[in-house]
């Protein structure tokens, strides 16, 4: 099954994609994770995009599409994948349509107040890429691998405001794009993680 998870930053795409990947046995392809890995390894791409990510702006469509196209052409994506964070613009959606055929696009619907509360309490593990909320933590140590948790630079207030603006202007139009193609399903995402995940499974059935 070829699935896109759509939704504003902080809607839970990454969390649910990680569970879906285990449940469905197909890879989780997150452009945000790919970019962060490049930052961490200080690759040429990493150096080029560091400032863009810190501000919460989008990496160019050209770079992003080339990376995703290459990733989806690998063997492990033959039977499907869960795309998280891509596409994020009409140009990216049209490019994806030109080289692959999706089965379903799930829009995770969450109001902005909830998103801001979630992102401001979010902590990230640079070692295992886990994301946690302060309300579930007792220290700044990753409960999975023990590394020290950090606040992602793009989770800082100024960047979050910018990411929500970019979402409104550039990514939100994809809801209509996929609705017109009969691919869109909507799952409410403002309950608990369990409830939200159950909503996603329901629309995938």
Interface residue list for ligand AMP (CB under 6 A): 9, 31-32, 35, 52-53, 56-59, 64, 85-88, 92, 154, 163
Residue located via tokens 């910018």: 162
In DSSP terms, which residues pair with 188 in a beta bridge?
109
Q: Between 90 and 138, whose beta carbon lies closer to ligand AMP?
A: 90
CB of 133 to ligand AMP, least distance (A): 16
In the set 2, 13, 36, 118, the catalytic residue is 13
CB of 84 to ligand AMP, least distance (A): 7
- The strand order across the sheet containing 2-6 reads 28-30, 81-84, 2-6, 104-109, 184-188
- The residue of the chain with the least Cβ separation from ligand AMP equals 32
- Give the other-Cβ count within 10 Å of 24's Cβ: 17
Q: Between 53 and 184, whose beta carbon lies closer to ligand AMP?
A: 53
Per the annotation, the verdict on 163 as an active-site residue is yes
CB of 4 to ligand AMP, least distance (A): 11
Per the annotation, the verdict on 88 as an active-site residue is yes
| 3-state secondary structure at position 156 | coil
Do 19 and 108 contact (CB within 8 A), yes or no? Answer: no
């Amino acid at each position: 099954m070829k699935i896109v998870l759509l939704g504003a930053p902080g809607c839970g795409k990454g969390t649910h994609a990680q569970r879906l990947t285990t449940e469905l046995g197909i890879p989780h392809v997150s452009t945000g994770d790919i970019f962060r890995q490049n930052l961490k390894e200080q690759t040429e791409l990493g150096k080029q995009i560091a400032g863009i990510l810190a501000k919460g702006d989008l990496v160019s469509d050209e770079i992003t599409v080339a990376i995703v196209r290459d990733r989806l052409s690998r063997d492990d994506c033959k039977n499907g994948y869960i795309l998280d964070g891509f596409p994020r613009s009409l140009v990216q959606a049209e490019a994806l349509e030109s080289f692959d055929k999706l089965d379903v696009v799930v829009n995770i619907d969450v109001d902005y107040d909830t998103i801001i509360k979630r992102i401001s309490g979010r902590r990230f593990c640079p070692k295992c890429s886990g994301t946690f909320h302060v309300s579930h933590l007792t220290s700044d140590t990753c409960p999975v691998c023990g590394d020290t948790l950090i606040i992602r630079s793009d989770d800082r207030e100024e960047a979050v405001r910018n990411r929500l603006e970019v979402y409104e202007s550039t990514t939100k139009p994809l809801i209509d794009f996929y609705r017109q193609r009969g691919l869109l399903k909507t799952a409410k995402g403002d309950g608990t993680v369990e409830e939200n995940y159950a909503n996603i499974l329901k629309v995938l059935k």
